[in-house]
A and B are shown apart, each in its own frame.
Chain A
C-alpha cells in the first residue's frame, strides 16, 4: 500500500534535530543536504531557540560529497562547530545524502569522542523513519555515547525519575506540557529530570539519567524504546502511562499510579492531589452554568486529527469532564502496528459507557475528505492543525490547533497537560467558540 501524504503533520527522521535544540545549550551538527534543516524548522520549530534555526552547523552536502563521500567535509565542520558555537553538547545527525552514500560518520565522530569532546552521532537519514521514531534514536545515542561516560557505577538517587513524554517541537506545546509534568511530579515528592526546555537542567541533568530510580514514559508509544533501553542498560524499572493526562480525573489517576509504582509518600501524594483538585474543580464548577446554559450553540462533538498521546488524553478529558462527545478519531503519527491495538483499546473504553471509533491514517487529505462526507447536524469541534482552517469553516466547526503546523498560533509556554493544562483547554476552546459571535 502506498503511503503518500497530503498535508504532512510530522517530519522525517532528521526532524529529531529539534529534540537536540530543546536540550539547553546543545547544538545539532547536520551532515545533510543544504535545505533539510530549514524545512524541519519551518514545520516544527517556531523560534530559533539557543542554537537552532539558521545557527545550526551543516555540511550542506554537494554533488562532490555524493560522488567522493563527505567525511572530510564533516570533519572540518565539526572542528569549526567546536570553535564557533558555544555549546555543552554537539550532536551529529545524518541526512539522506550521507546515509545513502554510506559515509562512516561513527568513525569520524569517534575521533572526537576519543579526545574527550562532548559529541555524539546518530544516523537519521530522512527516509529511515519519522521524527517520532528517531527522537528515540537520538536520545539513546546521547545516553550511550555521552551520558554513559559519566555514570557512577551502582549509584541511585532515591526519588529521582527521568521523564520521557511529549516530543519537543513535534508537540508545539512541549515546553508548557513538560513544565506541568515536572510541577505535578515534584508535587508528590519526586525529583524530576525533565531533560528538555525551560525547566530542565541541561546536560548536567542528563548526566544523572543513570542514577534515576525510575523512568516514566508519558506517551502512547514514542519514547517507550528509551525506557526499555534504560531498563536493559541500567536496570531502571519504568512505568508507562499511555497518553497525556489532561484535567482533574486523569491527572489524579496518573499521579496515584506513579506514586504507587515509585513508592512516593502516599499522604503527600493525596494532599497534593487534594489541593490541586480543589482549585481545578472550583473553576470547573464556576463555569458549569455557562457550559449548560449558553444558548447560542457550543460544540457537542469533536473530531481529532492528532498523535496518539494527544488524541487519547484529549478524548478522555473532553468526554468525561466537558461533556463533548467523540466523533471519529484519527491518529496521524504513523503509529507502528504493534502499538495500535493498545490505542484502539483506550478508545474502546473511552468512558464507562462509551467507545469511540479510531482510525490510523497519515494521509490527512484523505481524512479531510472523509470528514466532509459526514452529515454535520451539530456544531462540532476539530482538534487538529493549521490545515483544518477551511474544513472547520465548511462544516461549521470550531478549531483548536493542537498539532503542527500551528502557524495560526504563537506558542510560548502554553501547555495542555495536567491540572493547569486542563483549565487552559477550556479557556482556549470557549475562547474560539465565543469569538465567533459578532
Chain B
C-alpha cells in the first residue's frame, strides 16, 4: 500500500510508488504471478514510438473543473492538447445541459532566455492575468519538462500567489520526462486537489464519489433508489463541490487506472471507504462489484433483489448474443484497468480473446488490496490469456501482432491504435464512453456494437486494399518483441 503524504508537493511516480511497468511479454497469469511475488521487472525497448506524458493526463482532470483555471507553465507546444480537452469539455456541457463556455487555459510561453534566467516572473504574471480575466475559484499550475529542468520554484510561486489572490493557487507537478506511465499525471492532479482543495469533513453526506472521466450519468439510477446521491468527479465538478468530497460515504472507481490515487487518498486521509472490487464489467464482475457496493453502503438486501431482477432481464438476451458471438476472435488494446474489464466482458460474451496489448501494468493499486486486481479477477474467473503484452502504446508491436493474429475484430479503448486494425482489413471498434459497457446493460450494449462492427466489413476491406504500410517487410516478419528487453543501456533508461 502506498502511504499518502500531503506534505510533499509532488507525488511519487507510479514506477516508484506502485512498481508499475511498461513492458511485458507472456500470459496474463504469469504477469499476475510475477506481480504478486514481487518479481515484476520492467522491460525497456530499444526502439520506441511517441507515447503520452503526465502533463496531458493531469490537464485532462484539471481542465474541466467549472470554476477553475489552468496555467500551463511551459513552452507553447505543451499546450497543444488544450483545445482537444476544451472540445471534450464542451461536448460534456451539451450532455449535461450546461451553458456553453470555453475552458480557460493559459500558457506561460517559456522561451530561450527563460531557460537561462528562469521563468517564475512569467508564471506570476500569467497567474495574475488569469485571475483578472476569469476571477476563478482556484488556479492550477501544470509544469513541463522545461520548467522542471531549469528548476523554477513553482511551489514557491503557488504559495505566494495563494496569499496574494486569496484563492488556492495549486502546483501540479507533471513533467513529462519523470515517468514512462502517463497515467501518473492523474495522480499528480489528484494529489494537487486533495492537498490544496479538499477540506476536512464537517459532516457525513449521502453522496457517493464517482471518479470518472466524462462518461454518461449511469449511476443515478443505481444509487438514488438506494438513498444515495452520485457525485461525479473531477471533470464537470466545481471547486466548492471538490472541497466536500471528504464527506462522502464511499468512492466508486470507474477505472482504477484513473482513480487509484484519489480513492486511496480519500480513504486514508478522510476515511471515505473505496469500493475495492474491480469495476462492474461482465456478468460476474457486475455481481461481485454490486455486492461490494451493497456491503459498503449497507444495502445488501436491496442489492440482492436488484441482482436477481437484472439477471432475469439480462440472461435471456445475453444467451442470444452469445450464440451469435460464440467462437469469434478478438484482440484488445487499451489502458490497464479498462483493458482488464474488456477481457472479462468479451469472454462473458463467449468470444475468444487471442491476446491483448495493454498500455502499462500496476501490480496493485494505491489501496494495496489484492481485491482490486482486475487482471487477477479476469484470469481467475475466465482462465488465463495467452499473448498478454504490456505495450506502452507502441503501435509497431501492435501492427506486427495483428498481422499474425488476424482476429475477427480488434477492440481499442484509446485513440491512435484503431487505424492499424482497419488498415489490415480487420473490423475495429473504439468506444469512448467507458460507462457504455458498465454493468449488466453495458454487456448488452457492447454485444450489440460488436455485432454491428463485425457486420460492417465493406469499409475496412476497401481501406485495406488502398492503404500504405509504413512498416518494413522485415519488421512484420520479426518476433513482435524483438526490441523488448534487449536494451544494452538499461541502467540509463
Contacts and interface: CB of A to CB of B under 8 A. Distances in A.
A66 interface: yes
Contacts of A36: 50, 53, 77-78, 176
Given A12-B75, A42-B83, 5 more contacts: A15-B77, A36-B78, A39-B81, A48-B416, A58-B50
Contacts of B76: 5, 8, 10-12, 126, 130
Interface residues of A, number: 78
A376 B475 CA distance: 60
Contacts of A130: 76
B51 A63 contact: no
B470 A85 contact: yes
B84 interface: yes
Interface in B121-173: 121-122, 125-126, 129-130, 133, 144-146, 149-150
Interface string A12-35: 111100000000000100100111
A386 B126 CA distance: 23
A38 B386 CA distance: 30
* Best-buried of B77, B177, B417 by chain A (most CB within 10 Å): B77
Interface of A: 2-8, 10-15, 27, 30, 33-44, 48, 50-51, 53-66, 68, 72-73, 76-77, 79-81, 83-87, 95-97, 100-101, 126-131, 362, 365, 369, 386-387, 389-390, 393, 405, 407
Contact of B145 (A33, A42, A390): A33
B180 A62 contact: yes
5 contacts: A8-B76, A33-B53, A43-B80, A87-B470, A131-B77
Interface of B: 46-56, 74-84, 86-87, 90, 100-102, 104-112, 114-115, 121-122, 125-126, 129-130, 133, 144-146, 149-150, 176-178, 180, 182, 393, 395-396, 416-417, 419, 468-475, 483, 487-489, 491-493
A83 B487 CA distance: 16
Contact of B489 (A10, A72, A95, A390): A72
Contact of B47 (A54, A77, A86): A77
Nearest to A28: B50
B84 A42 contact: yes
A128 B115 CA distance: 10
A130 B51 CA distance: 22
A5 B50 contact: no
A35 B102 contact: no
Given A39-B56, A101-B149, A127-B112, A73 B489 contact: yes
Secondary structure of the A side of the interface?
A: helix
B487 to A, nearest CB: 7
B77 A64 contact: no
A98 to B, nearest CB: 10
Contact of B416 (A15, A53, A60, A87): A53
A135 B41 CA distance: 41
A390 B416 contact: no
Contacts of B53: 33-36, 38
Given A2-B125, A83-B47, A407-B84, A13 B475 contact: no
9 residue pairs, one from A and one from B, having the closest CB atoms: A80-B47, A35-B53, A12-B77, A39-B80, A37-B50, A126-B75, A33-B176, A58-B50, A43-B80
B55 A35 contact: yes
B106 A5 contact: yes
B147 to A, nearest CB: 9
Given A8-B107, A390-B102, A84 B75 contact: no
Nearest to B47: A80
Given A35-B56, A38-B50, A365-B133, A97 B177 contact: yes
A76 B487 CA distance: 9
B466 to A, nearest CB: 13
Contacts of B78: 12, 35-36, 39, 126
Contact of B492 (A6, A68, A365, A389): A68
A76 B45 CA distance: 9
Nearest to B84: A42
A394 B474 CA distance: 57
A310 to B, nearest CB: 18
Contact of A80 (B46, B125, B176): B46
Nearest to A62: B177
Contacts of B489: 72-73, 76
A83 B396 CA distance: 11
Given A39-B77, A54-B416, A55-B470, A127 B110 contact: yes
B55 to A, nearest CB: 6
A63 B54 CA distance: 13
